Amino acid sequence: MKHIVSRKWLLARLYESDLVIVDCRFVMGQPDAGRAAYEEAHIPGAVYLDLERDLSAPVEPDGHGGRHPLPDAAELASRLSRIGIGNDSRVVAYDDQGGAMASRLWWLLRYLGHENVFVMDEGYSAWVREGFPVNADQKVLIPSAFLATVQHSMLVEADEVRESLGGDERVLVDSRDAQRYRGEVEPLDKKAGHIPSARNKFWKGTQDEQGRFKDAEALAAHFADLPRDKELVVYCGSGVTATPNVLALSEAGFEKVRLYAGSWSDWISYSENPVAMGEE
């Protein structure tokens, strides 16, 4: 696997000097739960980054940018520097939410030009079940220097998505569960449905019954109906759970993959944008 590491891989490298471990646990609807869990216990040496306070910008009043807008690149680079992430750091992110929050940090670091970043498979609970060490110690933060080189090509904005509707140069991939995609339920956003022409690939389909990411061959089979010669634009509700799909597509060898970071919650903030219901 290119971007996913095992618990044993991390355990063997736990105290290597260039390694920065980041706890990304976060529970939607319980904004303080992730930090509280981190303060109670975490992988030794881990620092904490919060989805909404650190890995997202404040929500705009008009809803543009979605429920988890991308953080300002300069502000995020400064935050990474303060917690000890530099351009020479190896970063391993973990969460307890199936890799969704850790994948958000993985994607953001790559967006800032940092390739040496990985997601720990299975997450914190699996680490604990294995009997691997945890503690509540707060790491002494030694600032580093992180210089961002923003990779704008990784990102798609709403106007690009709108302009490509009806064309064949892009394929939209909706990462939400099938009921939300079809518009049968919508627990979080003001409108139900999906972006017209989008194909549904629920992000949890990238994992097996034990919550482990499937291997490259199985992921390639999972995404077999998606074209490799066209640009894939991946979205979800707010740009978070789309990122494990982006990661899995990369593992499966897809090269033309971009993220619509604002996702569905951004799309419906523009009243003129069309909405589709049911299966495509």
The per-residue pLDDT for range 51-69, each reduced to its tens digit, is 999 999 999 999 999 999 9
pLDDT tens sequence across 137-160: 998 999 999 999 999 999 999 999
Last residue of a domain, one of 129, 161, 193: 129
**Is the overall model pTM greater than 0.85, yes or no?**
yes
- Give me the active site residues, please: 236
156 and 256 part of one domain: yes
* Cross-strand bridge partners of residue 199: 173
Q: Which domain holds residue 243?
A: 152-267
Residue ranges of alpha helices (H) inside the chain are 7-12, 33-40, 73-82, 100-111, 124-129, 158-164, 178-182, 216-222, 242-251, 263-267
Q: Is the pLDDT of residue 1 over 90?
A: no
Residue at a domain's end among 78, 97, 129: 129
CATH code where residue 178 lies: 3.40.250.10
Are 19 and 109 members of one domain?
yes
pLDDT tens per residue across span 33-42: 999 999 999 9
Domain end point (choices 129, 144, 163): 129
Is 143 inside a domain boundary? no
Q: Which residues of 238-254 are buried (b: 16+ CB within 10 A; e: fewer)?
A: bbbbbbbbbbbbbbbeb
CA nearest neighbour of 265 among 70, 32, 49: 70
pLDDT of 166 > 90? The answer is: no
pLDDT tens per residue, range 121-132: 999 999 999 999
Give pLDDT, residue 280. 86
Contact 259, 155 (CB under 8 A): yes
